[in-house]
Amino acid sequence: MSRKKAKKSNTPQIGIFIDKKSANYNRLILEILFSQQMEAWQIAEAILRKKDPNISKEIKEVRRYHTQKIYSVIQRKNGRLEDLRNKGYIGEENGVWNLTKKGFIALSIEKPDLVNNEIQKNKNLLLESFQKRITSMPNGMAKVALGIHIDFSEIKPYFEKVDKLSLFHMFIEEAKTLLSEGIELDRISESDFEAIVMNKLSFSKKA
């Protein structure tokens, strides 16, 4: 087995990237929203550019026809945007779509090179948001998913000392472990998944 194939086979599977009919659209939507927030039609235009870089050479009517076909797939009821929103990977406000932290995590696992390169270049704002989420965890004990109780007062002092890039990489590696152990990212809330990962990571640092 080649190194490339071995690496791919060791990547935890995330539900939205499994089904062949929807996986490509899901992947492209997360990639596009990683860079900036967009309206649905803008997302459709961006998908078309990624799928066919030569489309810019076509006349306006041809570009609009192909964009409309993509738009109908992502915007219709139970389309790609609605499905990703219902599963917590993207959000929408006043017609503008954005990538959530859960979407950020999924993209970081599925397309690590893309995310790492973007972070190195631009220090993506989602990385800032990620660190704020971790360091703003409540003090004391709290109940999260699967009946797990977490003592945040024991976790926060350690993670507040770690720089945000290192914290991000540690988080992603621990997230991959949990997904490999059977947690379904499609079915767990963003906040519960974050809390479980941080709890597991904190135990590994204490060991």
Convert the pLDDT of each residue in 24-62 to its tens digit: 999 999 999 998 999 999 999 999 999 888 876 678 888
- Residue 92 DSSP SS3: strand
Q: Which amino acid is at 6?
A: A
As a whole number of angstroms, the distance between CA 152 and CA 79 comes to: 38
Confidence of residue 20 (pLDDT cuts 50, 70, 90): confident
Confidence of residue 14 (pLDDT cuts 50, 70, 90): very high
63-86 confidence digits (pLDDT tens): 899 999 999 999 999 999 999 999
Task: Please report the pLDDT score of residue 5 as a whole number.
Answer: 44
Q: Kindly report the backbone phi and psi dihedral angles of residue 91, in degrees, each rounded to the nearest multiple of 5, phi listed first.
A: -130, 170
pTM of the model: 0.83
- Residue 91 DSSP SS3: strand
As a whole number of angstroms, the distance between CA 136 and CA 113 comes to: 28
Task: Please report the pLDDT score of residue 142 as a whole number.
Answer: 66
Q: What crossing angle do the helices spanning 152-159 and 190-206 adopt, rounded to 10°? A: 70
Tell which wins on pLDDT, 41 or 200. Answer: 41
Task: Please report the pLDDT score of residue 206 as a whole number.
Answer: 57
- Burial readout 159-187 (b: 16 or more C-beta within 10 A, e: otherwise): beebebeebbebbbebbbebbeeebebbe
Task: Please report the pLDDT score of residue 98 as a whole number.
Answer: 95
158-190 confidence digits (pLDDT tens): 777 777 778 888 889 989 998 999 899 999 988
Q: Kindly report the backbone phi and psi dihedral angles of residue 140, in degrees, each rounded to the nearest multiple of 5, phi listed first.
A: 85, -165
108-158 confidence digits (pLDDT tens): 999 999 988 887 776 666 667 666 766 676 676 766 666 767 777 777 777
CB 85 within 8 A of CB 75: no
What are 123's two structure tokens? 């220090």
As a whole number of angstroms, the distance between CA 147 and CA 17 comes to: 28
88-92, 98-102, 197-201: range with lowest mean pLDDT: 197-201
- Give residue limits of the domains in the chain: 14-99, 109-206
Tell me which H or E stretch contains 99: strand 96-99
Q: Which has the closest alpha carbon to 99: 146, 37, 161?
A: 37
87-99 confidence digits (pLDDT tens): 999 999 999 999 9
In sequence order, the 6+-apart residues with CB closer than 8 A to the CB of 60 are none
Q: How far is CA 158 from CA 26, 101, 153, 202, in A?
A: 35, 21, 10, 8
Task: Please report the pLDDT score of residue 3 as a whole number.
Answer: 40
Q: Which has the closest alpha carbon to 97: 55, 51, 44, 168?
A: 44
Tell which wins on pLDDT, 21 or 120. Answer: 21
What are 155's two structure tokens? 């976790």
